[in-house]
Amino acid sequence: MLLLGVYFLLPLALLLAQSFRPLVIGQPAPPGLTLANYVRFLGDPFYLGTLRATLGLGIFVTVLAMTVGYPVAYGLARGRHRGKALLRLCVVAPLLVSVVIRTYGWIVLLANNGVVNQTLLALGLIGEPVRFMFTYTGVTIGLVHFALPVAILSLVGVIEAVDPALEEAARSLGAGPGRTFLRITLPLTLPGLAAGSMLVFALTVAAFVTPALMGGPSLIVLSTLIYQQMTVTLEWGFGAAVATILLVVATGLFLLYQRLLSLAPGVEQPG
Amino acid sequence: MSVQGRLVLGTVNALIYVFLLAPILVVVIVSFGDAAFLQFPPRRLSLRWYTNLGEYPDFVASFWLSLLLAAATAATATAIGTPAAFALARHRFRGRALLSALVMSPLVLPGLVTGIALLQFFSLFRTEPSFGRLLIGHVVVTVPYVVRSVGAVLVGFDRSLEEAARGLGANAWTATRLITLPLIKPGLLAGAIFAFILSFDNVVVSIFLTTPRLVPLPIQIYNYVESSARPIIASISTLQIAVIVLLLAAAERVVGFSRYVGGGER
Amino acid sequence: MTPALELRGVRKRYGTVIALHETSLAVAEGRLVFLLGPSGCGKTTTLRIVAGFVEPDAGEVRIRGTRVDGLPPERRGLGMVFQHYALFPHLTVAENVAFGLRMRRVSGAAVRARVARALELVQLQGFEARYPRALSGGQQQRVALARAIVIEPSLLLLDEPLSNLDLKLRTEMRSEIRALQRTLGVPTVFVTHDQEEALTMADEVAVMAAGRIVQTGTPSALYEQPANRFVAQFIGEANVETGRVTAAGAPGAWQVDAGGLAILGTGAGPWKPGDPVAVVIRPERIRLTAPAPGAGVGPADGVAGTVEECIFRGQLRRYRVRLGQGRVWSVDEAATGGSPAAAVGATVRLTWRAEDCLVIPDA
pLDDT digits (tens, 9 = 90+) for A153-162: 999 989 999 9
Question: What is the C-alpha end-to-end distance of chain C, expressed in Å?
Answer: 34
Assign B49 a pLDDT band (cuts: 50, 70, 90).
confident
> Under DSSP, is residue B46 helix (H, G, I), strand (E, B) or coil?
coil
Distance CA C299, CA C288 (A): 15
The answer to whether the Cβ–Cβ distance between B204 and A209 falls below 8 Å is yes
How many residues in chain C? 363
Distance of CA B244 to the CA centre of its chain: 9
DSSP letter assigned to residue A207: -
- The dihedral built from the CA positions of residue A244, A246, A249 and A254, taken in this order, carries a sign that is negative
pLDDT digits (tens, 9 = 90+) for C44-103: 999 999 999 999 999 999 999 999 998 999 999 999 999 999 999 999 999 999 999 999
Distance CA C238, CA B28 (A): 69
Q: Cis check for the bond before A187: say yes or no (omega within 30 of 0).
A: no
Compute the nearest-CA separation of B206 from chain A (Å). Answer: 12
Compute the nearest-CA separation of C159 from chain A (Å). Answer: 11
Which letter, b or e, does each residue of B200-231 get, where b requires 16 or more Cβ atoms within 10 Å of its Cβ? bbbbbbbbbbbeeebbbbbbbbbebbeeebeb
Model pLDDT, residue A258: 72
Q: How many interface pairs between A and B have CB atoms less than 8 angstroms apart?
A: 219
C-alpha to C-alpha distances, C310 to C135, C304, C314, nearest whole angstrom:
43, 16, 12
Report ipTM for this prediction.
Answer: 0.86
pLDDT digits (tens, 9 = 90+) for B177-229: 888 888 888 888 888 998 999 999 999 899 988 888 889 999 999 998 888 77
The answer to whether the Cβ–Cβ distance between C89 and A171 falls below 8 Å is no
Mutate to test the interface with B, among A98, A214, A247 (most CBs of B within 10 A): A98
Assign A269 a pLDDT band (cuts: 50, 70, 90).
very low
Percentage of residues of chain A with pLDDT beyond 70: 90
Residue C210 has pLDDT above 50, yes or no: yes
For residue B248, which residues of chain A lie inside 8 Å, CB to CB?
A: 96
Q: Rounded to two decimals, what is the model's pTM?
A: 0.83
Mutate to test the interface with A, among B62, B194, B225 (most CBs of A within 10 A): B225
Model pLDDT, residue A174: 93
Residue A243 has pLDDT above 50, yes or no: yes
pLDDT digits (tens, 9 = 90+) for C146-164: 999 999 999 999 999 998 8
Residue C352 has pLDDT above 70, yes or no: yes
Q: Which of A216-220, B255-259, C350-354 has the lowest mean pLDDT?
A: B255-259
The answer to whether the Cβ–Cβ distance between A271 and C133 falls below 8 Å is yes
Compute the nearest-CA separation of A29 from chain B (Å). Answer: 14
Model pLDDT, residue A266: 43
pLDDT digits (tens, 9 = 90+) for C100-149: 999 999 999 999 999 999 999 999 999 999 999 999 999 999 999 999 99
Q: Where are the alpha helices (DSSP H) in C185-253?
A: 195-201, 219-224, 229-234
Residue B38 has pLDDT above 70, yes or no: yes
When CB atoms are compared, the residue of B12, B17, B116 closest to A15 is B116
Q: Which residue in A220, A196, A207, A219 sits closest to B111, CA to CA?
A: A207
Assign C301 a pLDDT band (cuts: 50, 70, 90).
low
Q: Where are the alpha helices (DSSP H) in chain A?
A: 2-18, 36-43, 45-78, 84-96, 99-110, 115-122, 136-160, 164-172, 177-180, 186-206, 209-210, 222-231, 236-263
When CB atoms are compared, the residue of C73, C87, C88 closest to A172 is C73
The answer to whether the Cβ–Cβ distance between B266 and A230 falls below 8 Å is no
- The dihedral built from the CA positions of residue C82, C87, C88 and C89, taken in this order, carries a sign that is negative
Q: Where are the alpha helices (DSSP H) in B125-216?
A: 131-155, 159-167, 172-175, 181-201, 206-209
Q: What part of A 152-191 touches C (C-beta under 8 Å)?
A: 163, 165-166, 168-177, 179-180, 183-184, 187-188
- Rounded to an integer, the average pLDDT of B145-149 is 87
Compute the nearest-CA separation of C328 from chain A (Å). Answer: 45
Residue B127 has pLDDT above 80, yes or no: no
Residue A108 has pLDDT above 70, yes or no: yes
Residue B241 has pLDDT above 80, yes or no: yes
> Under DSSP, is residue C151 helix (H, G, I), strand (E, B) or coil?
coil
C88 touching chain A per CB within 8 A = yes
Distance CA C39, CA C25 (A): 19
- Rounded to an integer, the average pLDDT of B52-62 is 88
Distance CA C19, CA A64 (A): 42
When CB atoms are compared, the residue of A11, A75, A246 closest to B121 is A11
Distance CA A162, CA A167 (A): 9
- The dihedral built from the CA positions of residue A261, A263, A264 and A265, taken in this order, carries a sign that is positive
For residue C54, which residues of chain A lie inside 8 Å, CB to CB?
A: none
How many residues in chain B? 266
